[in-house]
Amino acid sequence: MSCRMNPNHSAVPCSMNIVRRLSVVGIAVLLQFIAFQNLSAQSTTPGDGSDADYQPRLMFRTTEDFTRWLSGPFRPSDEEPLATDRPDFTEASSVVGHGRVMLEGGWTFLHDSNNETRSDEHVLPEFLWRIGLTEKVELRIILPTYVNSFEIDRVTEERTRTKGATDLDLGFKFQLLQEDGWIPELAAIATLSVPAGSTPFRSRRTQPKTNFLYGWDITEDWSIAGSTGFAYLYETGFQTFDTVGVGNPAHFVLNATEDGFAQAHQSVTTGISLAEKVGMYLEWFAFFRHGSEEDRPEHYADGGLTYQFTPNFQVDWRIGFGLVDHAADLFTGTGFAIRW
């Protein structure tokens, strides 16, 4: 992370009204989907078994129904363990499945220091809603997340605080291939970043992003995966804020032109099952830019642990380091994933 704040700009207050409105809309859409999806909530009436006998009904007839559904992820189950997009940078090469809903979130702390400045940053709650539209397509909603950044000028001792909400990301993940021998499990994500954040973090216009995800199960307890992504980003006036994926290192990048700049990323990760409910990963990822003021590649290494209380509820922890001088020195965080 390169936190290069404009000294002519003071701290900008968080536009929390935007976050509240978008959160309310997101929750309303989510509950509408849950309540009226009827593939798993159809009931039958006596008859000959034809399609005419199927009558769609609400999933929640009573408060007890809703409570039972809400607590479902925390009860023991024989389901396959969930495959999450966090905590590593490389997102899962699978989708959540038709009618399933997954919420991922967490907190990230980033630290960067050089001869001129020192910066610390907190990012939360990093909410990602994953909603299964079909067995091969999921809707993805990355809600605006809150950023609180502090920077100290080592020469003047001047302290600058910048806080606010990031943009809203809307997109889809598509399951393209299932693993078959040397052919990997393959998925693709298409996302648009919508200018909806606070002033210091809001883009000038909609930003397209794509990400290709692939993975192989080498053994029952060992897997290898990777991602290759591209984005076209725009300045916000004096800086560009971009987060590639949920909970990944945030980048303040000074933009050289009003036309924006191209960014690519590459990652490789390996996952290891340490015990029935405990997993570990080790990872390398990097960003490559063209057309920005900071065109040097940023390389990172990170690792972390996951613990699944049930097949539908997981918590995680991670820590990572920049491998070059202009990358973030340190980032760490913790989070969760819940599947209904």
Residuewise pLDDT in 10s, the chain (340 residues):
333 333 333 333 334 454 445 444 555 555 545 444 444 443 333 444 444 443 444 456 677 766 776 777 877 777 888 899 999 999 999 999 999 999 999 999 999 998 888 999 999 999 999 999 999 999 999 999 999 999 998 888 899 999 999 889 999 999 999 999 999 999 999 999 888 888 777 877 888 999 999 999 999 999 999 999 999 887 543 333 444 444 455 444 433 345 678 899 999 999 999 999 999 999 999 999 888 777 789 999 999 999 999 999 999 999 999 999 888 899 999 999 999 9
**Separation of alpha carbons 131 and 30, rounded Å:** 8
pLDDT at 252: 41
**Separation of alpha carbons 137 and 210, rounded Å:** 15
Residue with tokens 């990097």: 286
pLDDT at 289: 86
**Separation of alpha carbons 20 and 211, rounded Å:** 28
pLDDT at 48: 45
CA atoms within 13 A on the CB side of 324: 14
Q: How many angstroms separate the first and last alpha carbons of the chain?
A: 34
Instruction: For residue 8, give both structure tokens.
Output: 């002519």
Give yes or no for a contact between 100 and 34, defined as CB atoms under 8 angstroms apart: no
Strands (E), the chain: 43-44, 54-55, 101-113, 117-124, 128-132, 137-142, 146-153, 159-165, 168-177, 185-194, 207-219, 222-233, 240-243, 250-253, 261-273, 278-290, 298-310, 313-322, 330-339
**Separation of alpha carbons 258 and 12, rounded Å:** 22
- DSSP code of residue 7: T
pLDDT at 296: 82
**Separation of alpha carbons 250 and 229, rounded Å:** 16
**Which one, of 174, 294, 285, lies nearest residue 233 by Cα?**
294
Q: CATH assignment of 16-79+86-339?
A: 2.40.160.40
Instruction: For residue 164, give both structure tokens.
Output: 């606010």
pLDDT at 260: 76
**Separation of alpha carbons 244 and 209, rounded Å:** 9
Q: Which helix (H) or strand (E) holds 29?
A: helix 16-36
Query: Could you tell me which residues are beta bridge partners of residue 90?
Result: none
Give yes or no for a contact between 260 and 339, defined as CB atoms under 8 angstroms apart: no
**Separation of alpha carbons 154 and 134, rounded Å:** 53
**Separation of alpha carbons 90 and 267, rounded Å:** 6
Going from the C-alpha of 74 to that of each of 80, 123, 315, the distances in angstroms are 14, 26, 12
Q: Which helix (H) or strand (E) holds 71?
A: helix 63-71
Amino acid at 312: N
Query: Could you tell me which residues are beta bridge partners of residue 77?
Result: none
pLDDT at 15: 40
**Separation of alpha carbons 172 and 110, rounded Å:** 28
